[in-house]
Structure 1
Amino acid sequence: MTKNTRLTLAAVVALMLLLGIPLLVKRSDEPRPAQQTGGIVDAAVLVREDSHRLSTAAAGRVTLVEFLDFECESCAAAYPAVSELLTTYGDRITFVVRYFPIPSHPNAELAARVAQAAANQGRFADMYAKLFENQTDWSHRDDPQTATFLGYARALGLDMTRFQRDLDDPATAARVAKDRTDGLAAGVTGTPTFFLNGRHLSEVRTQQDLTDAIDAALG
């Protein structure tokens, strides 16, 4: 696939995301679990003590959780909107990122481990941005993009010895797998999937819909 083709596909995906067309989402092979009682997922499944928070609300009234795949074009298309939400709402909402690598994406699990290895040095947010902002440079390639990811770690000034050790540590893979297991338990079948105060935002079609849902939750 040429670079121009990838860019065109990315533009189409972004438009489809805004229109809420379900076919844009990559689906995993696992079946959806039974719907949770009352449509609300247990908070303990959606947010763990070690979950990554890009913002934290002191009052704790509104929590938005995104299950994402760094190699997913739809997640990359949503990334600017999410960044805008973080700027708009700041510490009025808690925004939580959970890993949900799709098995058919060749570098998705590796990218999640890269983000986790950066998180071990307190740089999750920086690597999160790096992976999405450069997604077209490394995504959908059959060979592991380890060298590219190591370059991102160097650019962020990380301790490379520790980063490489953490990247290869089975505990890092287990940490990523734990997020994915929670996602499956919550009924996640594709990415991006958002939950607001435990409720799956399946009816959201545009960024404005998401903003309206957050405003309603804030009261």
Structure 2
Amino acid sequence: MLRTLFLLLAATLLPAQPPSNWQAATTLPGLDMKGLTLAQQKVVLTILRDSTCPCGCPMQLAQCRVEDPACSQSLTLATLVLEAAAANKTAPEIRKILADSPLVKAGTQRDRILLDPVSINILGAPFKGPANAKITIVEFSDFQCPFCVKAIPQLDALLKAFPNDVRLVYKQFPLDTHSQAALASRASLAAHAQGKFWPLHDKMYANSRAINRQTVLDWAKEFGLDMPKFTKVFDAPETQAAVARDLADGSRAGVNATPTIYINGKKYQGALDIAKLSPIIANELKGK
């Protein structure tokens, strides 16, 4: 009881934290406006004070810069506004540039199951299902990702439910947090060069914790692969570069976790569950 009274008394005696007063701030963390005219600075500050940060916080861009200076999205967008002002863009032009930026567009689509379509290069990538399928699902995945392991039976069930209409394309997205994922990606491409991508794919996902160079070589031998050819492709700089290209393709498309799938180029933001995916595929087939 005495401790509670002491804390209450201390709270009344301690000075309250002053508000950030971001609405009156003329400088913002991470933003150098020295090269702008006073009129340009005013335009920048006005736009940042009345534009919402898309990072998910309830703040305006200027407020986010002041109260959460570590936010990379508010910094990126504030810099975009500053650069537009420095290029002598008018306030309406700057607002349009801001609205058209990928970060702002992504923020407006956060609650959608399917986002707007993007272009993804799938030339030469392994796939299963009809080559001329009406629906192409592109999966960015990591061979040591436990969530990717759980997604496999769901995606396989989807292919069985729509055998003539859906194909699944695999794209590499090994995460740095998984020590053998990049090695597994190279191994899968070496198997793909001999037409054995999916057998090794299934084996590695079924034994994701056991993946290392020796086990991968043993599995490749088990599937009857030409081992000198396999090892050559496995260790080739070109194969490492191919994995890097898939990673770059994923990053451009908006992949930030695995597994991530795109349905005819549209990023899917729901559960990877056949009960959720089947009606979406049916709607896509109807052109909805």
Same fold (TM over 0.5): yes
Tell me the residue number matched to 2:127. Answer: 53
Q: Is the 8 A contact 1:101 1:108 kept in 2?
A: yes
Matched, 1:95 2:168: yes
1:78 aligns with 2:78: no
Amino acid in structure 1 at the alignment position of 2:116:
I
Matched, 1:63 2:136: yes
**Cα deviation code 1:191-216 (max 9, x no counterpart):** 00011111111134633111111111
Say whether 1:115 aligns with 2:169.
Answer: no
Q: Distance in 2 between matches of 1:40 and 1:115?
A: 30
> Relative CO higher for 1 or 2, CA cutoff 8 Å, sep ≥ 6?
1
Report the residue type matching 2:145 in the other structure: C
Asked if the contact 2:191/2:200 (under 8 Å) is kept, the reply is yes
Indicate whether 1:193 and 2:260 are aligned. yes
Equivalences for residues 33-44 of structure 1 within 5 A: 34=103, 35=105, 39-43=115-119
Q: Structure 1 vs Structure 2: percent identity of aligned residues? A: 32
Residue 164 (str. 1) matches residue 164 (str. 2) = no
After TM superposition, the runs of 4+ consecutive aligned structure 1 residues lying more than 6 A away are none
Structure 2: tracts of 5 or more residues without a match: 1-71, 74-101, 110-114
Distance 1:169 1:91 in 2: 36
| Structure 1 alignment gaps of length 5 or more | 1-29, 139-144
Q: Does 1:105 align with 2:182?
A: no
Larger Cα-atom Rg:
2
TM-score of the two chains, using structure 1 as the length reference: 0.76
TM-score scaled by structure 2? 0.58
In structure 2, what is the Cα distance between the partners aligned to 1:206 and 1:86? 12
Q: What CA distance in whole angstroms lies between the structure 2 residues aligned with 1:216 and 1:49?
A: 26
Q: CA deviation at 1:79?
A: 1.0
Structure 1 residues 25-61: Cα deviation after superposition (integer angstroms, max 9, x where no partner): xxxxx98x63579842433xx2321122112252x42
Aligned partners of 2:142 and 2:173 also within 8 Å = yes
1:126 aligns with 2:199: yes
